[in-house]
Structure 1
């Protein structure tokens, strides 16, 4: 299992081979064994395999080709709809119409998603995590007909790999692990931690192609710029309000 984790690669190209129903269910079952808050399991997984449905989902993910190509697309959702109904049927008054509850559901869903990804890779399948969900949650809600109390938080494409990309870089352990308490970074430590990433050939090419001075500028000015973050934040906050997670 550790080898599976250490050799993770995001797969964006898939063969046409379908995933056996029994194998898919086994992977999803492994997902549901993830830890959850109070064992409430306030999450749901929407499995999309129909070509027409994947076609509807594609624009929600900026038309990244793997949405249409992968045999299975999984949308992981924070879900209090089911739990609230169970409470009400048993004369219990649910108080989960708040931001804390959304965070609880989102964490549960993401833990399940990671279990699913590891289980899939251990069976020779490839996965790709798409963070575009939180940018277009409002559109995904419409496509998947998600009721109040349900918010999508992650999407994973799943299938047999049709590529073997190189493993992407990761920061060294000393850059992300703190012992006993958080030790803040000096300028020299930051330079040291990011030195390998900054000096990669791919990083240098990225900087040149975008006509920037540094890889950091590519992130702040091109890939994840403030105006986009603010705009998508407004959409997500409106989604949380409409789905019943922003009541006082």
Structure 2
């Protein structure tokens, strides 16, 4: 039954005004903290934002998406080596965690916790929305949340009781994503077959027409995620990661 429910899951961006009980939220976070973690180091922190004014401070970093200010709770999941490094220093242990490997390890830890929280929250009737904008404007989030050295925001989740149940968005067929034993590269015929349903959706054709493009792929490459934007935000994110203490 649970498996079937998850096959029907969808992202929720509009929430009721009902607040999430603090006890419930804390229990969900405790469940999340049981997620797998590298070396049992728990290299993450979660900033819980409930205050309306503080949500407004975060909103510009997420391009003022309404879900940030209307959600009862905004959770910012951070890669955090600050706590572990301080523990090492106080215990006369010389650390070597100011590098790319350490940053990436902490990022994985943070994302595992974020997903476990989302799974638990949805099982309890809550709705969630991941915000991919976190890494675009990390410097703004670091300032708004007063994040110290060796702490970098990697994803944000809004959470609340769903005000509506939107249509489920499309997904590629499982065959597109599963490779048995070894990676099997895609032929042009494979690509045509895998993307056929996505490209034939009415909303996909609408995106193509609205943006005056020839193909759906061009909507992604030229409009939604163009090279110039990717390079711009890459530069910003790499710079702030270094400023936060990770040198690579």
Structure 2 distance, partners of 1:230, 1:31, is 33
The offset of 1:240, in angstroms, is 1.0
Deviation readout 1:200-239 (Å, 9 max, x if unpaired): 0111111111111111000000000000000000001101
Partner of 1:243: 244
Is residue 202 from structure 1 mapped to residue 203 from structure 2 by the alignment? yes
Within-5 A mapping of 1:139-178:
139-178=140-179
Residue 55 of structure 1: aligned partner: 56
- Aligned pair 1:120/2:134, yes or no? no
What's the Cα RMSD here?
Answer: 0.8
Tell me, in whole angstroms, the C-alpha distance in 2 between the residues paired with 1:244 and 1:2: 41
Shift of 1:166: 1.1
Deviation at 1:118, TM superposition (A): 0.5
Alignment-derived partner of residue 27 in structure 1: 28
* C-alpha distance in structure 2 between counterparts of 1:3 and 1:77, whole Å: 31
Task: Mark the CA change 1:221 to 1:196 in structure 2 (over 3 Å): closer, same or farther.
Answer: same
1:3 equivalenced with 2:4 (yes/no): yes
Report the alpha carbon displacement of residue 87 of structure 1 after superposing the two structures with TM.
0.7
Residues in 1 aligned to 2:55 and 2:192: alpha-carbon distance in whole angstroms: 43
Contact in 2 for aligned 1:13/1:162 (Cα 8 Å): yes
Q: Which residue in 2 is equivalent to 1:68?
A: 69
Distance 2:210 2:108 in 1: 36
- Cα deviation per residue 1:171-197 (whole Å; 9 max; x = unaligned)? 001101101100000001000000000
Q: CA deviation at 1:5?
A: 2.6
Number of residues of Structure 1 aligned to a counterpart in Structure 2: 247
Point out 4+ residue stretches in structure 1 off by more than 6 angstroms. Answer: none
Spell out the pairing of 1:119-138 with structure 2 (5 A cutoff): 119-138=120-139
Work out the CA distance in 2 between the residues paired with 1:171 and 1:245. 36
Query: Match of 1:222?
Result: 223
2:16 maps to 15
In 2, distance between residues paired with 1:177 and 1:31? 27
- Per-residue displacement from partner, 1:140-187 (whole Å, max 9, x unpaired)? 000000000000000000000011111111100110110110000000
Q: Which residue of 2 aligns with 1:42?
A: 43
Provide the rounded CA distance (Å) in 1 between the counterparts of 2:90 and 2:8: 46
Q: Distance in 2 between matches of 1:4 and 1:122?
A: 9
5+ long unaligned stretches in structure 2: none
Unpaired stretches in structure 1, ≥5 consecutive residues: none
